[in-house]
């Protein structure tokens, strides 16, 4: 069963047209209730494969499956009505061939109703991105630190900290843009490199640990709300919800043990007569 995208949503071409304009605001979401809360404030919501780490306690995003992404994509679509919804293609769902990528991307879009997909990789994925976009699949690129390549990279470390390493990352960004991606996530790259790539490419850059010069920014919602125990350097905590949750749960537990909850107003009396 597919979900039809509601009219009035932000579209991939509208995000593309924001290059050099008002900064693009984005956050991740994996649930209907958080999507409903953030939807009025953001331009696009990313259903990221980071859900494997945030929701399931996995060490990496590698074990995340296509079915997991579709399930959470459904939820975010149901909870939102304004933002463009972008769903991550998980590891192993698009690298084998252009045809595999199209088949799985088409499934994601049909079954969730999302407006775009995101996939990682630069020059090596350019042909696949071109194949998808020529067949009606809006694609957001992702270069710099690519978490799905963590086994090859060895650690979640910032990229381009030395100028001699800039060339491949710049080529990746240009290749993705030239292949037809409507925007590119730049993750954990040296600030001057993030600013330079933003000037060089014709599509919006979405920074996450990149540069304030990027055309937009994204963070993992749970990180910026203070729900995650460990966060990267590039995260600023705009809230401290973990503390509020602990206080609320402690208050609840105390009242249950004291038999002060449920109170009379929380219970149902017998009907009279």
> Which residues are known binding-site members?
49-50, 88, 118, 120
State both tokens at 245: 């949750």
Q: Which of 95, 187, 255, 265 is catalytic?
A: 187
Q: Are 93 and 107 in contact (CB under 8 A)?
A: no
- Burial track 88-106 (b if 16+ CB lie within 10 A, e otherwise): bbbbebbbeebeebbebbe
- DSSP labels, 219-259: E-HHHHTT--SS--TT------HHHHHHHHHHHHHHHHHTT
Distance from C-alpha of 101 to C-alpha of 85, rounded to nearest angstrom: 19
Angle between helices 126-133 and 98-112 (to 10 degrees): 50
Q: Which phi and psi (to 5°) does residue 172 adopt?
A: -60, -45
Q: Which phi and psi (to 5°) does residue 38 adopt?
A: -85, -15
Q: State yes or no: is 187 an active-site residue.
A: yes
Q: How far is CA 133 from the centre of its chain?
A: 20
Residue list, annotated binding site for 3-methyl-2-oxobutanoate: 49-50, 88, 118
Residue list, annotated binding site for Mg(2+): 49, 88, 120
State both tokens at 119: 């996939």
**Residues known to be catalytic:** 187
């Amino acid at each position: 069963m597919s979900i039809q995208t509601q009219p009035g949503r932000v579209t991939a071409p509208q995000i593309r047209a924001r290059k050099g304009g008002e900064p693009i605001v984005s956050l991740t979401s994996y649930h209907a209730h958080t999507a409903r809360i953030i939807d009025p404030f953001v331009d696009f919501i990313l259903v990221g494969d980071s859900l494997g780490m945030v929701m399931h306690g996995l060490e990496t995003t590698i074990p995340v499956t296509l079915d997991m992404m579709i399930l959470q994509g459904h939820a975010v679509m149901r909870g939102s009505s304004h933002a463009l919804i972008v769903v991550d293609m998980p590891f192993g769902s698009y690298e084998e061939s252009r045809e595999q990528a199209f088949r799985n991307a088409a499934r994601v879009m049909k079954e969730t109703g999302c407006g775009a997909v995101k996939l990682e990789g630069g020059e090596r994925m350019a042909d696949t991105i071109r194949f998808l976009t020529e067949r009606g699949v809006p694609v957001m690129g992702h270069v710099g630190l690519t978490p799905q390549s963590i086994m090859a990279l060895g650690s979640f470390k910032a990229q381009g900290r030395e100028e001699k390493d800039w060339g491949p990352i710049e080529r990746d960004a240009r290749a993705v843009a030239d292949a037809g991606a409507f925007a590119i996530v730049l993750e954990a790259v040296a600030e001057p490199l993030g600013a330079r790539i933003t000037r060089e490419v014709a599509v919006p850059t979405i920074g996450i640990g990149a540069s304030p010069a990027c055309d937009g920014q994204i963070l993992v919602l749970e990180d910026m709300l203070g729900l995650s125990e460990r966060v990267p350097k590039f995260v600023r905590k705009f809230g401290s919800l973990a503390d509020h949750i602990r206080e609320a749960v402690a208050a609840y537990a105390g009242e249950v043990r004291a038999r002060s909850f449920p109170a009379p107003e929380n219970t149902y009396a017998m009907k009279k007569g």
